[in-house]
């Protein structure tokens, strides 16, 4: 199996095929995402985007000389603000830590010790850090985690003069990336600008888990309907498939280069 005809998804490989690849010490990408409200205009399963981007990265990195396999995507993220949304499915933080630890242990136990996490959910980030730090402290390898949407936002800000109100949950960069990668599942006709901030505890909601008082911000336990009363925390009305395609191309190229770098470090 070589080049563009290689089977790079772990779920497509037979056990015999994978054993034959182990002497080449393949890099493994582990995509993580979430099933949560992404606004009225976008499908809830943003884990699908992490999987699609991961497939492109694996293909590009492998074609450039770094054998890179893609593990199945963990579709459920750590529970944070989205528990009150119908259709949202999430794991308690302790469960997420345990599941991620088990997945990484399984890979390492079977000779797949070179792993990069492709994270597609902000609520996962601190827990990923806890799990990977524990592995390193126990004498294991450094397992890098790439927060896809954080990097995509930086790339988009660099490429375009986009108002800040269009960035954020349910807005850019996912709004344009969704139109580029999952147009059949998107409903851009339902996109609306964010509603006026809700009032909680006699104060305006200023963000995820935060209310404003005087000139300061105070942490508060909030659910997503309080943060985004009309399901949008950012303005996705000007999302554009061409912009999303360009950002995905740059994102894939950048992370594929990082795969080559990571392969030299472990």
CATH number at residue 76: 3.40.50.10310
Q: How many domains does the chain have?
A: 2
**Are residues 146 and 33 both part of a single domain?**
yes
pLDDT-derived band at 5 (thresholds 50, 70, 90) equals low
Quick: pLDDT tens for 130-173: 999 999 999 999 999 999 999 999 999 998 789 999 999 999 99
Residue 242 pLDDT greater than 50, yes or no: yes
Contact 167, 174 (CB under 8 A): no
* Average pLDDT of the residues in 45-69: 98
* DSSP category for residue 86: T
Query: What are the φ/ψ torsions at residue 246 (nearest 5 degrees)?
Result: -65, -40
pLDDT at 84 over 90: no
Asked if residues 114 and 68 have their Cβ atoms less than 8 Å apart, the reply is no
Residues 256 and 203 in one domain: no
Q: Which domain holds residue 74?
A: 3-194+235-263
- Among all chains, which residue has been given the structure tokens 């600008």? 193
Contacts (Cβ under 8 Å, ≥6 apart) of 202:
none
Same domain, 90 and 187: yes
Quick one: 188 and 201 in the same domain? no
In angstroms, rounded to a whole number, what is the distance separating the alpha carbons of residues 234 and 64?
Answer: 37
Q: Same structural domain for residues 54 and 169? A: yes
Contacts 24+ apart (CB under 8 A), 101-108: 101/131, 101/134, 101/135, 103/30, 103/71, 103/74, 104/30, 104/131, 104/132, 104/135, 104/143, 107/28, 107/30, 107/71, 108/140, 108/141
The CA distance from 114 to 126, in Å, is 21
């Amino acid at each position: 199996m070589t080049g563009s005809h290689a089977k790079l998804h772990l779920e497509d490989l037979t056990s015999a095929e994978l054993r034959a690849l182990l002497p080449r010490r393949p890099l493994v990408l582990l995509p993580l995402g979430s099933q949560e409200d992404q606004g009225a205009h976008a499908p809830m399963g943003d884990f699908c985007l992490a999987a699609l981007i991961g497939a492109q990265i694996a293909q590009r990195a492998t074609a450039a000389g770094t054998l890179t396999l893609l593990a199945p995507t963990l579709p459920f993220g750590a529970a944070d603000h989205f528990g009150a949304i119908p259709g949202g499915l999430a794991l308690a933080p302790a469960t997420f830590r345990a599941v991620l630890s088990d997945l990484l242990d399984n890979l390492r136990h079977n000779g797949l010790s070179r792993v990069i996490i492709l994270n597609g959910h902000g609520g996962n980030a601190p827990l990923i850090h806890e799990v990977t730090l524990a592995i390193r402290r126990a004498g294991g390898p450094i397992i890098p985690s790439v927060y896809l949407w954080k990097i995509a936002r930086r790339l988009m800000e660099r490429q375009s003069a986009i108002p800040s109100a269009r960035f954020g949950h349910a807005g850019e960069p996912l709004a344009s990336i969704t139109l580029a990668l999952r147009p059949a599942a998107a409903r851009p006709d339902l996109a609306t600008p964010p509603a006026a901030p809700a009032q909680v505890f006699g104060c305006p909601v200023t963000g995820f888990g935060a209310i404003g008082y005087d000139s300061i911000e105070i942490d508060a336990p909030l659910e997503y309907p309080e943060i985004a009363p009309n399901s949008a925390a950012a303005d996705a009305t000007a999302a554009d498939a061409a912009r999303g395609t360009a950002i995905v191309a740059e994102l894939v190229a950048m992370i594929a280069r990082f795969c080559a770098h990571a392969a030299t470090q472990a």
